[in-house]
């Protein structure tokens, strides 16, 4: 049986594209776009790595909320990049390259970058409509639940 993918992220992209088209926003030149997409890929890779490295099987409500917010920022940044013309194949290549780049970064640089990226993502998220925020929130929740399910169960005391 073939699995179907959630339409949430696609719907978000379409909704944001329609809103921006109505506002008459134009795209950036392609060289600037590539640079911007590379920066976004670094942000998404950094936020993803931060969340995944902090995950454990028995999170507190506060930890889970923080992970959720970080993932919402990553989804908001990704959705914005798609709206600005990033293709699916290009995004995969950029994200792979970004993960390779950040693999050698010291922890302090990762934390600093994650904080900056989180602020950028939350700014985009806060500018989104209620429906767009709902879509991003649900996508982040699904990813967090999926990653937590991958963890081994905590030891029984």
**Local structure of residue 60 (DSSP, 8 states):** -
Closest CA to 44 of 84, 101, 129, 104: 101
Overall pTM surpassing 0.95 (yes/no):
no
Domain extent listing, the chain: 29-146
- Alpha-carbon distance values, 136 to 29, 68, 69, 72, 107 (Å): 27, 10, 10, 6, 27
∠ CA 140-84-6, nearest 5°, is 35
- Give the residue carrying structure tokens 């709206």: 83
pLDDT per residue as tens digits for the range 95-150: 999 999 999 999 999 999 999 999 999 999 999 989 889 999 999 999 999 999 99
The predicted-structure confidence for 24-39, as pLDDT tens digits, reads as follows: 444 444 454 556 799 9
């Amino acid at each position: 049986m073939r699995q179907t993918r959630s339409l949430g992220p696609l719907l978000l992209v379409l909704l944001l594209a329609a809103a921006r088209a109505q506002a008459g926003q134009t795209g950036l030149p392609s060289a600037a776009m590539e640079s911007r997409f590379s920066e976004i890929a670094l942000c998404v890779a950094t936020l993803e790595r931060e969340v995944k490295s902090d995950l454990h099987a028995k999170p507190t409500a506060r930890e889970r909320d923080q992970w959720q917010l970080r993932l919402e920022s990553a989804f908001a940044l990704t959705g914005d990049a798609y709206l600005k013309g990033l293709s699916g194949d290009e995004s995969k290549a950029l994200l792979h390259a970004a993960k390779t780049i950040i693999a050698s970064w010291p922890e302090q640089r990762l934390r600093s970058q994650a904080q900056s990226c989180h602020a950028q993502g939350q700014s985009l998220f806060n500018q989104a409509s209620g429906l767009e925020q709902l879509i991003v929130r649900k996508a982040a929740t699904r990813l967090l639940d999926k990653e937590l399910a991958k963890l081994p169960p905590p030891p029984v005391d």
